[in-house]
Amino acid sequence: MKFSIERKDKIAELLAEEVREQLGSEAGIDQIEGALREIAKEVSGLGLQKVIEESEERYRCAVECGCGQVAHPIGKRSAVLWTVFGKVEYRRRYYVCSGCHVGQSPLDAKHGIKPGQTTGALASLLGIWGVEVSFEEASQLAERFLLFRVSDDEGAVPL
């Protein structure tokens, strides 16, 4: 994927500015690298949230339910997605069927998202680690490399 060089420079400058402000000018390379990884993870999670939320199609007063009846909007609801950037929360319109009372979100369906579960990218990373090592070790590796903990307590879904 090719990125806009101009935009990439702007983002890099903002990241550098943030790290300089947080760490001062005496920070060592390990501190600087760690801080950049941490902020890149957080910013990317926020970016993912924005891309998902902003891709929501215009308001529809009804959508079709799997049972053949019609589902109506009941407002916006939050959902959680576990990604390589950690836990990402987003809000989207939620519809409930007047017949069978099953809920659905067209935005989730559009992106193939199952709220509360992992993205394919995270699942495949954890799967690879899971094959090589125990779940506990995979969880520790995730914490070390992805900078967040993957455990039953936190709600992430083990494979």
Number of residues that bind Zn ion (CB under 5 A): 6
Structure tokens at 52: 């998902």
Q: Which is closer to Zn ion, CB of 62 or CB of 133?
A: 62
Q: Which is closer to Zn ion, CB of 46 or CB of 67?
A: 67
Q: Which is closer to Zn ion, CB of 19 or CB of 97?
A: 97
- Kindly state whether residue 67 participates in binding Zn ion, applying the rule CB under 5 A: yes
- Kindly state whether residue 69 participates in binding Zn ion, applying the rule CB under 5 A: yes
Strand order, beta sheet including 70-83 = 63-64, 70-83, 86-97, 103-104
Structure tokens at 10: 């702007």
Q: Closest approach of Cβ 71 to Zn ion, in Å?
A: 6
Pick the stretch among 28-36, 41-49, 95-103, 120-128 that binds Zn ion (CB under 5 A).
95-103
* Contact status, residue 120 vs residue 127, Cβ threshold 8 Å: no
- Kindly state whether residue 99 participates in binding Zn ion, applying the rule CB under 5 A: yes
Among 100, 109, 121, 128, binds Zn ion (CB under 5 A): 100
- Kindly state whether residue 97 participates in binding Zn ion, applying the rule CB under 5 A: yes
- Kindly state whether residue 74 participates in binding Zn ion, applying the rule CB under 5 A: no
SS (H, E, C) 17-42: HHHHHHHCCCCCHHHHHHHHHHHHHH
The half-sphere exposure of 12 on its side-chain side, counting CA atoms within 13 A, is 7
Pairing of strands 103-104, 70-83: unpaired
- Kindly state whether residue 22 participates in binding Zn ion, applying the rule CB under 5 A: no
Q: C-alpha distances in angstroms, 143 versus 114, 123, 137?
A: 23, 15, 10
Q: Which is closer to Zn ion, CB of 97 or CB of 107?
A: 97
State the residues that interact with Zn ion by CB under 5 A: 65, 67, 69, 97, 99-100
